[in-house]
Amino acid sequence: MSAPGDEYKHTIALANATLGKIRDLGLPADPRSYAACFTYATECNPSRNRVVDEIVARKGTASASELETVYGYTSDALITDNVDKLATGVAGEVDQVMAMIDAAVGNVATYRDDLSNVTEQLGQTQDREGLRAIVEGLVQATIGMEATNQALTASLQASRQEISQLQDKVEALRIDSQTDSLTNLANRKYFDRELDRCMAEARTEELCLLLLDIDHFKKINDTFGHMAGDEVLRVVAHAFRQHVQPSEVAARLGGEEFAIIFPKASLRATVKVADQIRSRVKAMHFLKRSTGESIGCVTISGGVAAYRAGETPWSLIQRADHCLYAAKRHGRNTVATHSAVVLAEAS
C-alpha cells in the first residue's frame, strides 16, 4: 500500500500531465477540456491514445469533443439540458396540482359556510315555503360542489398522467445517460463506474476484463463508408449481447473498441467466452445494407486480464489493453491473455 505522500505526488503528477496535454493541444483550460485530456494524459487506454495521436499528427490538435468521441465519453451538456427541461416540467405540474388543491380547499370552505347558513336558516324558518327555498338552495350548492369535485378529479387525473409521463422520461434519460446510442451497449462512463464497483466488491481474483477490437475497421470505413461501419458495429455489439449474462457488463469504449466485465469468472471461463464471441463474429457475412454489396467477413481481437487484489482500474485496463495489442501484433482474430503475453515476452 502506498503512503499518503506518494498518493499526493501521484495525483499532482497526473494533474500536471493533464495540464500539459491541454497546453500542447491549445485547448481552453475549462473542466470539459480537463476531463477530456485526463484519460489521454494518464495513458490508461493506450490503443485509444494511438487513435488520438493519429488525429493530432494529421490536424496538429484534437478538440475536447474529438477526445470524448475517441474515449467513448459524451458531453454532459445535452443531458443537463434535458434534466433542466424535465425539472421545469415537474415543477410546473406540481404548481398546477397545488393550485387545484388550494382551489378545492376554498370551495370546501365556501360549501361549509353554505351548510352553516342553512342550519341557521332552518332554525329560524317556520313556514313550508321558506323551508322549500332553503332546501332548494342546499341542493344547488351540493350540485355545484359535485361539479367542482368532478372537475378537480379530472384535473388531478390529467396531472397524474402527465407526471407519470415525466417519470418515464426521467427513466429514459437515465438509460440514455449510461447507454451508447449506436450499439445500445453500456457507454464509457457507465463502464468506468461498474468497473470501480466490481473491483471494490471483488473478494477473490475471479474478476476478469475482456477488451475487444474490430480488426481493420478503418479499412471498412474507408472502403464502404461510415454508414456501413456503423452497421458492422451494431451487429458485432449484438453478438456480444448474446454471450453476456445479466451480472456482466458489455460496453463500447469508443470507436471500434469494446469491453466486457466478468465480475465472477475465472480467466479460463472468460477466455472461453471470448473465443465464442470471436468465432461467432468470424462466422458472419456482412452486407452493406443500402446497396447489398458484400463487406465480407469481419474478425475481432481480444485481450483478457484477471484482476489482481489491490490494483487500480487503470492498471487492469492497461494490462488488458496490452494483451489486445499483442493479439493485434500476432495476426489478429485471436484472444491473448496477460499470463500468455508475459510468458511470450520473457522467452
Q: Tell me, what's the pLDDT at 274?
A: 95
Low-confidence stretches of the chain (pLDDT < 50) are 1-3, 77-78, 80, 346-347
> Phi/psi zone of residue 84: left (φ > 0), alpha (ψ -120 to 50 degrees), beta?
alpha
Q: Tell me, what's the pLDDT at 119?
A: 60
Q: Tell me, what's the pLDDT at 288?
A: 84
3-state secondary structure 17-54: HHHHHHHHHCCCCCHHHHHHHHHHHHCCCHHHHHHHHH
Pairwise CA distance, residues 337 & 210, whole Å: 9
Instruction: Report whether 208 contacts 265 (CB < 8 A).
Output: yes
Q: Tell me, what's the pLDDT at 324?
A: 94
Pairwise CA distance, residues 246 & 134, whole Å: 70
Pairwise CA distance, residues 240 & 224, whole Å: 23
Q: Tell me, what's the pLDDT at 18?
A: 85
| Phi (first) and psi of residue 186, to 5 degrees | -65, 150
Instruction: Report whether 152 contacts 97 (CB < 8 A).
Output: no
Pairwise CA distance, residues 47 & 318, whole Å: 9
Catalytic residue, candidates 256, 257, 311, 345: 256
Query: Is position 256 annotated as part of the catalytic site?
Result: yes
Instruction: Report whether 141 contacts 112 (CB < 8 A).
Output: no
Q: Tell me, what's the pLDDT at 5?
A: 57
Q: Tell me, what's the pLDDT at 59?
A: 84
On whether the pTM is more than 0.95, the answer is no
Instruction: Report whether 70 contacts 51 (CB < 8 A).
Output: yes
Pairwise CA distance, residues 298 & 340, whole Å: 25
> In this structure, what C-alpha cell is assigned to residue 296?
465480407
HSE-up of residue 250 (Cα within 13 Å, Cβ side): 21
Q: With CA atoms as reference, report the closest residue to 209 among 255, 168, 265, 140.
A: 265
Q: Tell me, what's the pLDDT at 346?
A: 46
Q: Are strands 294-296 and 208-214 parallel, antiparallel or unpaired?
A: unpaired
Compute how many other C-beta atoms are within 10 angstroms of the C-beta atom of residue 236: 24
